[in-house]
Amino acid sequence: MDIFEKLPEALLPWFDENKRDLPWRRDKEPYHVWLSEIMLQQTRVEAVKGYYHRFLEALPDIEALAEADDELLHKLWEGLGYYSRVRNLKKAALVIMERYEGIFPRKYEAVLALPGIGNYTAGAICSIAFDQPKAAVDGNVLRVISRLTEDGTPIDLPAYKKKVQTALEAVYPQAAGQFTQALMELGATLCGPNWKPRCAECPCGSFCGSALHGTAEQFPVKTPKAKRKTEKRTVFILSCDGRYALEKRPDMGLLAGLWQFPNVAGWLEPEKAPEAVEAMGIKPRELLRQIHRKHIFTHIEWEMQGIYLETAEISGNFVWMTAEEIKGKAALPTAFRQFWEEEQGV
DSSP secondary structure code for residue 270 in this structure: G
Measured from the Cβ of residue 127, the count of other Cβ atoms closer than 10 Å reads 26
User: Helix/strand/coil (H, E, C) string of 131-170?
Assistant: CCCCCCCCHHHHHHHHHHHCCCCCCCCHHHHHHHHHHHHC
Long-range contacts from 203-207, C-beta under 8 angstroms, 24+ separation = 203/10, 203/11, 203/13, 203/14, 204/6, 204/7, 204/10, 204/11, 204/144, 204/148, 207/3, 207/6, 207/10, 207/148
Q: Are 247 and 317 in contact (CB under 8 A)?
A: yes
C-alpha Rg value of the chain to the nearest Å: 24
Cα separations in angstroms, 304 against 57, 83, 227, 292, 324: 35, 20, 19, 6, 25
137 CB-near residues (< 8 Å, 6+ apart): 119, 120, 123, 161, 164, 165, 168
> Burial of 287 by CB count in 10 Å (0-12 exposed, 13-18 middle, 19+ buried)?
middle
Q: Are 106 and 127 in contact (CB under 8 A)?
A: no
| Residue 37 is among the residues annotated as catalytic for this protein | yes
Cα separations in angstroms, 260 against 100, 150, 205, 266: 37, 47, 50, 16
Beta bridge partners of residue 301, listed in sequence order: 230, 296
Q: Exactly one of 5, 17, 37, 271 is catalytic; name it.
A: 37
Q: Which of 269, 292, 277 is nearest to 239 (CA)?
A: 277
Q: Are 223 and 157 in contact (CB under 8 A)?
A: yes
Q: Which residues does the annotation mark as catalytic?
A: 37
